[in-house]
Amino acid sequence: MDVLLGVLLGVVLSASVFAVSRLLAPRRVLAPGEEGVRAALHAAAATLPHLRKGLTRESAGKAIGHLHALTQAAGVLIDDGETVLAADGLPAETRHVSLKRDCPSLGNALDWLPDSSRVEVHSGPAPFGNTVVAPLMVGGERIGRLAAFYGPERRLRPEDTRVVSEVAALVSAQVELSVLAEQEERLAQAELRALRAQISPHFIYNALAAVANSIHTKPEEARELLTEFAEFTRYAFRGNRSYVTLADELHYVEKYLRLEQARFGDRLDVRVSVAPEVLTAVVPVLSMQPLVENAVRHGVEKAVGPCRVEILGADLDTDVELTVRDGGAGMDAEAADAALHGRAGGIGLANVHARLQSTFGPEYGLEVESTPGQGTVVKMLVPKFRAGVRAA
Amino acid sequence: MTLSIIAVIAVTGAALGIGTYGVKLARTTSDLFVASRAVSPWWNAAAISGEYLSAASFLGVSGLMLKFGASALWLPVGFTAGYLTLLLFVAAPLRRFGSYTIPDFAEARLPAPYMRLLAAGIVLLISGCYLVPQLKGAGVTLRAITDAPYWVGVALVSLIVALNVSLGGMRGVTYVQAFQYWVKVFAIAFPALLLLIHLGGLPARAALFGEEIPRADRAMVIELDAPRPVTFPDTGETRVVSRVELARGDAFPVAEGIDAQTGDEWSRPVAESGRGSPILIYSLLLATFLGTMGLPHILVRFYTNPDGSAARRTTVRVLGLLGVFYLFPAVYGLLGRAFTPELYVTGDTDSVVLRVPAAAWPGPMGDILAAIVAAGAFAAFMSTASGLLVSIAGTVSHDVVPGKARKRRTRFRIVSVVGMLPPALLALATPNVDISVLVGWAFALAASTFCPLLLLGVWWPRLTASGAAAGMLAGATVATGMIAAGLIGDVSQETAAGAILTQPAAVSVPIAFAAMIVISLRRPPQNVSAVMAALHVPEPVSP
């Protein structure tokens, strides 16, 4: 009895939650015309995410069904000017196969399709019949064709031509967006390359000089330094990874600092205190190193006497805060702001800030606190987890 | 008495101190790096065990064993075995995925804006549910060592934990939590071993294993804090009394909700009906097997592992460490039946661990051991309560109320004080529910919401957001509905029906899985190949 009561109560509760959710989002009843508009909009919207990945056999294959619904032709086909990328519909009466399944062998059968940069109407052989062909244009260049077949029986209407050319325009616009995204990606890569190129010739010269200094007196140490140098440069210049774990980044910051210490000796005092819980966080490659390099350059190179550089990593539950502090000359707030936005000559800080913000959103990134004579503190805030951001 | 109070104050002070100063000590500070070295699986496993061993493990298991007999020992079996399912199905994929909390996982796996909010809501529900027994443990412990009323302990510990978390102490520092594990193991094992050596083995009483019910070995008077109904097993009558006088050889009367069992019945792990009935045992095992992976404060700890295989290694070590700990509550249960049977009269069985040392070894040595146990109990619920409160405050300030990352600190502080109120009030409202039963509810909730989400989310590509949401809602409502029905209906655990209402997992878990699968099948899933690859493709060998 009591079990029944409990189960019943649970079921009633879940059913009422379900009912409320249904009530809050009632199914709208549309007039037939509106229903058509809705269907067309749905089909159009459904193609968007696929085509935004560029015009490939895979993306075209996923979008073709929706394009078919949108044109309301008997069959549709997309090619890249030479080979067929995807096709759908049009059961061929003579051969009892659909256009889709026969896709690879269609190449020769479709030689009759007009090859032009305008929308053309053509009457094709038996199963295809009346056909509208529209070019897919990206940046003024033709990258492929969209063909809609209406069968031999049906006469073409002016709307058909218009619909097909509009659908072709929709596909073109999406593919164009994908090209833009690709360019943006390339720009980000270029910026990273610029940052790598910025690892200053000075540093390389100084590191090699430090090795040369000790090569006779302490050959063991010189050998170690050269190994560190080789490993660091390989990390800094290796092109293919965008994200690394904080542990990795700190590991190479360590190698970098070892080289700087060989050069400055006792003058450079480095303190590191990082909570081990945050080492698994994922950060863009070369995000800490520029901060540390800045600290060394401003804190030690421009000062006389010993100078301390501190690297702190704090666990803020859902976020990680990394702090790089130097005891150098410091700067005023305006100069700090300029450095963060790339108006102060170098692109180090600005580049890291921009990459952090584009990866994690506007609430993350760098913060610079500095007062003249008091040194500079750069704080970097990153989340512990962000979907899709993984260390390579 | 005084010794225990001193020990408790020392442990609390140490916990607060570690929170403030230990954070600095626990960091690798060095002139040059050893910082990029990850936490080893042993440290991590000890930290997870330290966070996991709560008042339910430290006090509740022995209390429930005293009350219902050996059938209560299924509870630690489930508590430990939960890590086996975690190891087999979830630990490595989730670590590879990199998600830090369940709301993170839910949103990344099933991209729908409401998933994060829904998962966050359930995190709050489970954490709140798990906090109640910790506070109850505080009330019981303080009452046992100072005779203060129950509410004093609840209020005091709520206040200390809330203030401490909001001021930034007791954070989830791995080395501190790992240290806590060893404190807890010492506090439960050392007195148990010394007592067994002192007694020369288990006392050979017929009430333990034979055909006897517990009988007074001398004349005694037991005072109750209020007039209560107690049942006298010799005559079978039930009377409301505030004071019980027993002559030598009289059977101990039992408080409401307890059965007078012979030693034979008591020591049998499975019975025809009631607490030892197979349906309740299966329900409990299901809840603990599947619920462990859904505990928010535990899953967070796996983030510290550097990769999937380290997560697996950590989980195996957790199984071992917990196994060692759970040997000892059974010792206190057995000794309690021999030395503190007056708890059957008062019904305050949750305090058996605290009362056994002084009863079994009268004199200063017993007092010292009692102080050690009391300190361990305090450490147990302080650390678990802090971990839970941190996850409540973190969830609210990160997932529920969106806003600037740098303003989050303030919100975290406010929420950690406010968030303590509902569990504290619930703990005050349920003084008569066993700690282990309360914990069982948290496990049942986790098993019928996050377990299907994690298992299906990791292993079934067809899971959709609407399916997951429906399944979690169905599981949560069925589980809470049945628990509420059991509470309001005031059912007896002796019937199978009452049993399933106190532990609803056997009903709610299948309902949650079914709802998730059926509703997911109605629509095709989104493109999940990238997410599935992130979950399952092993990490490349690091350079």
Task: Look at A201 and B145; give whichever has higher pLDDT.
Answer: B145
CA B377, CA A264: separation in Å to the nearest integer?
54
CA distances, A279 to each of A63, A311, A365, B493 (Å): 42, 13, 18, 48
Nearest to B508 among A3, A10, A261 (CB): A10
Does the pLDDT value for residue B537 go beyond 80? yes
How close B404 gets to chain A, by Cα (Å)?
6
Q: Hey, are the CB atoms on A272 and B30 less than 8 Å from each other? A: yes
Looking at residue B168, its pLDDT comes to 67
Q: Which helix (H) or strand (E) holds B255?
A: strand B254-255
Task: Look at B34 and B165; give whichever has higher pLDDT.
Answer: B165
Q: Hey, are the CB atoms on B172 and A317 less than 8 Å from each other? A: yes
Block residue for tokens 């809501």 = B121
Looking at residue A146, its pLDDT comes to 87
Give A-chain residues touching B504 at CB under 8 angstroms: 6, 10
Looking at residue A93, its pLDDT comes to 45
Nearest to A384 among B100, B481, B504 (CB): B100
CA A318, CA B412: separation in Å to the nearest integer?
11
How close B55 gets to chain A, by Cα (Å)?
24
Q: Hey, are the CB atoms on B171 and A315 less than 8 Å from each other? A: yes
Residue B136 structure tokens: 């109850």
Burial classification of residue A18, based on how many CB atoms lie within 10 Å of its CB (0-12 exposed, 13-18 middle, 19 or more buried): middle
Q: Hey, are the CB atoms on B36 and A279 less than 8 Å from each other? A: yes
Q: Hey, are the CB atoms on B303 and A381 less than 8 Å from each other? A: no
Q: Hey, are the CB atoms on B473 and A313 less than 8 Å from each other? A: no
In 10 A of CB B65, how many CB atoms? 28
How close A280 gets to chain B, by Cα (Å)?
6
B470 in contact with chain A, both atoms CB, cutoff 8 A: yes
Task: Look at B105 and B486; give whichever has higher pLDDT.
Answer: B105
Q: Hey, are the CB atoms on A2 and B406 less than 8 Å from each other? A: no
Number of A/B CB contacts below 8 angstroms equals 175
Count the helices and strands in chain B (H runs, E runs): 28, 4
Does the pLDDT value for residue B26 go beyond 70? no
CA B198, CA B366: separation in Å to the nearest integer?
10
Looking at residue A239, its pLDDT comes to 62
Find the mean pLDDT for residues B129-138: 91
Phi, psi dihedrals of residue A199, rounded to the nearest 5°: -55, 115
Q: Beta strands of A275-331 (E only): which ranges?
A: 282-284, 307-316, 319-326
Residue A64 structure tokens: 């073709």
Looking at residue A104, its pLDDT comes to 52
Q: How many Cα atoms occupy the beta-carbon half-sphere of B16 within 13 Å? A: 14
Residues of chain B numbered 278-307 and touching chain A (CB < 8 Å):
303-306
A273 neighbors B28 (Cβ within 8 angstroms): yes
Model ipTM over 0.85: no
A124 neighbors A56 (Cβ within 8 angstroms): no
B349 neighbors B343 (Cβ within 8 angstroms): yes
Q: How confident is the model at residue B200 (pLDDT cuts 50, 70, 90)?
A: confident
Does the pLDDT value for residue B325 go beyond 90? yes
Does the pLDDT value for residue B454 go beyond 90? yes
Q: How confident is the model at residue A174 (pLDDT cuts 50, 70, 90)?
A: confident
Looking at residue A370, its pLDDT comes to 82
Total count of residues recorded for chain B: 543
Alpha helices in B58-101 (DSSP H): 61-68, 74-85, 91-97
Looking at residue B131, its pLDDT comes to 92
Count the helices and strands in chain A (H runs, E runs): 11, 12
Span B404-433, pLDDT tens digits:
656 777 788 888 888 899 999 988 888 877
Q: Which residue of B has its CA nearest to A49?
A: B527
Give B-chain residues touching A283 at CB under 8 angstroms: none
Find the mean pLDDT for residues A268-293: 86
Q: Where do the domains of chain A lie, and which CATH numbers do they carry? A: 33-183 (3.30.450.40), 199-383 (3.30.565.10)
Q: Which residue of A has its CA nearest to B474?
A: A14
Q: Hey, are the CB atoms on A272 and B491 less than 8 Å from each other? A: no
- Calculate what percentage of chain A has a pLDDT beyond 90: 3
Q: Which helix (H) or strand (E) holds A268?
A: strand A268-274
Nearest to A272 among B32, B306, B504 (CB): B32
Q: Assign residue A139 a region: left if phi > 0, alpha if psi is -120 to 50, beta otherwise?
A: left
B244 in contact with chain A, both atoms CB, cutoff 8 A: no
Total count of residues recorded for chain A: 392
Span A113-169, pLDDT tens digits:
777 778 888 777 777 788 888 888 887 788 888 888 887 777 788 888 888 888 888
Q: Hey, are the CB atoms on A277 and B32 less than 8 Å from each other? A: no
Q: Which residue of B has its CA nearest to A244?
A: B542
Q: CA torsion, points B222, B224, B229, B231, in degrees to nearest 10?
A: -20
Q: Positive or negative, the Cα torsion across A67, A71, A72, A78?
A: negative
Does the pLDDT value for residue B323 go beyond 90? yes
Residue B380 structure tokens: 């147990």
Q: What is the DSSP string of B360-373?
A: HSTTHHHHHHHHHH
Nearest to B486 among A6, A250, A257 (CB): A6
Q: How confident is the model at residue A344 (pLDDT cuts 50, 70, 90)?
A: low
Q: Which helix (H) or strand (E) holds B346?
A: helix B343-346
Which residues fall within 8 angstroms of residue A203, CB to CB, at 6 or more apart?
A259, A293
B445 neighbors B479 (Cβ within 8 angstroms): yes
Question: In the β-sheet with A268-274, what is the strand arrangement from edge to edge?
Answer: A365-370, A376-383, A319-326, A307-316, A268-274, B28-30
Q: Which residue of A has its CA nearest to B490?
A: A2
CA B477, CA B480: separation in Å to the nearest integer?
5
Domain positions in chain B: 7-23+36-214+252-536
DSSP state of A155: P
Three-state DSSP at B204 gives coil
B29 in contact with chain A, both atoms CB, cutoff 8 A: yes
Phi, psi dihedrals of residue A302, rounded to the nearest 5°: -95, 5
Looking at residue B314, its pLDDT comes to 93
B46 in contact with chain A, both atoms CB, cutoff 8 A: no
Residues of chain B numbered 165-204 and touching chain A (CB < 8 Å):
171-174
Looking at residue A5, its pLDDT comes to 67
Give B-chain residues touching A13 at CB under 8 angstroms: 477-478, 480-481
Find the mean pLDDT for residues B11-15: 77
Question: In this structure, which topology does domain B7-23+36-214+252-536 adopt according to CATH?
Answer: Sodium/glucose cotransporter (1.20.1730)
CA distances, B426 to each of B60, B158, B388, B453 (Å): 17, 12, 15, 28
CA B152, CA B159: separation in Å to the nearest integer?
11
CA A177, CA B111: separation in Å to the nearest integer?
22
Q: What is the 3-state secondary structure (H, E, C) of B471-505?
A: HHHHHHHHHHHHHHHHHHHCCCCCCHHHHHHHCCH
Q: Which residue of B has its CA nearest to A317?
A: B394
Phi, psi dihedrals of residue A308, rounded to the nearest 5°: -105, 135
B405 neighbors A319 (Cβ within 8 angstroms): yes
Residue A218 structure tokens: 């302490």
Span B477-512, pLDDT tens digits:
999 888 888 877 766 666 767 778 888 899 999 999
Residues of A340-372 as b/e, b for ≥16 C-beta within 10 angstroms?
A: beeebeebbbbbbbbbbeebbeebbbbebebee
How close A193 gets to chain B, by Cα (Å)?
21
- Calculate what percentage of chain B has a pLDDT beyond 90: 29
In 10 A of CB B238, how many CB atoms? 13
Q: How many Cα atoms occupy the beta-carbon half-sphere of A311 within 13 Å? A: 28
A294 neighbors A333 (Cβ within 8 angstroms): no
Mean pLDDT, chain B, whole residue set: 84
Q: How confident is the model at residue A296 (pLDDT cuts 50, 70, 90)?
A: confident
CA A13, CA A379: separation in Å to the nearest integer?
49
How close A198 gets to chain B, by Cα (Å)?
24
In 10 A of CB B418, how many CB atoms? 14
Looking at residue A96, its pLDDT comes to 41
In 10 A of CB B114, how many CB atoms? 14
Which residues fall within 8 angstroms of residue B171, CB to CB, at 6 or more apart?
A315, A317, B19, B23, B390
Looking at residue B348, its pLDDT comes to 85
Q: Hey, are the CB atoms on B306 and A276 less than 8 Å from each other? A: no
B104 in contact with chain A, both atoms CB, cutoff 8 A: yes
Q: Hey, are the CB atoms on A273 and B482 less than 8 Å from each other? A: no
Q: Which residue of B has its CA nearest to A379?
A: B406
Burial classification of residue B367, based on how many CB atoms lie within 10 Å of its CB (0-12 exposed, 13-18 middle, 19 or more buried): middle
Does the pLDDT value for residue B516 go beyond 90? yes
Instruction: State the pairing for strand pair A307-316/A268-274.
Output: parallel
Looking at residue B175, its pLDDT comes to 79
How close B76 gets to chain A, by Cα (Å)?
26
Q: How confident is the model at residue A94 (pLDDT cuts 50, 70, 90)?
A: very low
Does the pLDDT value for residue B291 go beyond 50? yes
Find the mean pLDDT for residues B218-241: 84
Looking at residue B469, its pLDDT comes to 93
A287 neighbors A249 (Cβ within 8 angstroms): yes
* Partners of residue B285 on adjacent β-strands: none
Does the pLDDT value for residue B30 go beyond 60? no
pTM over 0.95: no
Does the pLDDT value for residue A336 go beyond 80? no
CA A145, CA A122: separation in Å to the nearest integer?
14
CA distances, B383 to each of B120, B354, B454 (Å): 22, 18, 26
CA distances, B531 to each of B108, B330, B537 (Å): 8, 44, 10
Q: What is the DSSP string of B146-176?
A: H---HHHHHHHHHHHHHHHHHTT-S---HHH
